[in-house]
């Protein structure tokens, strides 16, 4: 069997060295695997936030549609937010008793 010549050994050694340098760059550089993992985590977090925003938008869209089409939702909103009452209704405001008023009522 014939021994491989020096140039073939140098070529194999050079290729192995080049692969090693590329691997070091892949694993240890700022733009290597650590960046890929960081970007994947960022994409996952953004996807989760987007899904939450889609759900919120769907709720808001349904509320807008309900307010445009349904009078009962508009009336409910006016009662709750603005304190409005309808014709023929009476409004009673119940205020919790304070310690002074209960003591005066007890005497």
Q: What is the pLDDT of residues 10-36, one digit of tens each?
A: 999 999 999 988 888 777 877 888 888
Please report the pLDDT score of residue 33 as a whole number.
Answer: 82
Instruction: Decide if 95 is inside a domain.
Output: no
Domain that holds residue 14: 1-30
Instruction: Decide if 91 is inside a domain.
Output: no
Q: How many structural domains does the chain have?
A: 2
pTM of the model: 0.47
Same domain, 20 and 51: no
Instruction: Decide if 14 is inside a domain.
Output: yes
Summarised one tens digit per residue, pLDDT across range 35-81 is 888 999 999 999 999 999 999 999 999 888 877 887 777 777 777 78
Classified as helix, coil or strand, 86 is: coil
Same domain, 13 and 59: no
Instruction: Decide if 38 is inside a domain.
Output: yes
Asked if residue 103 has pLDDT above 70, the reply is: no
Same domain, 36 and 55: yes
Please report the pLDDT score of residue 63 as a whole number.
Answer: 84
Instruction: Decide if 93 is inside a domain.
Output: no
Element (H, E) at 79: helix 71-82
Phi, psi (rounded to 5 degrees) for 30: -65, -30
Phi, psi (rounded to 5 degrees) for 73: -70, -40
């Amino acid at each position: 069997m014939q021994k491989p010549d020096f140039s073939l050994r140098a070529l194999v050694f050079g290729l192995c060295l080049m692969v090693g340098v590329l691997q070091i760059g892949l694993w240890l550089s700022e733009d290597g695997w650590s960046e890929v993992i960081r970007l994947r985590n960022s994409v996952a977090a953004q996807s989760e936030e987007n899904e939450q925003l889609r759900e919120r938008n769907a709720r808001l869209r349904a509320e807008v549609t309900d307010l445009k089409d349904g009078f009962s939702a508009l009336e409910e909103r006016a009662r709750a937010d603005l304190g409005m009452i309808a014709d023929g209704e009476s409004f009673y405001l119940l205020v919790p008793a304070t310690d002074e008023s209960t003591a005066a009522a007890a005497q």
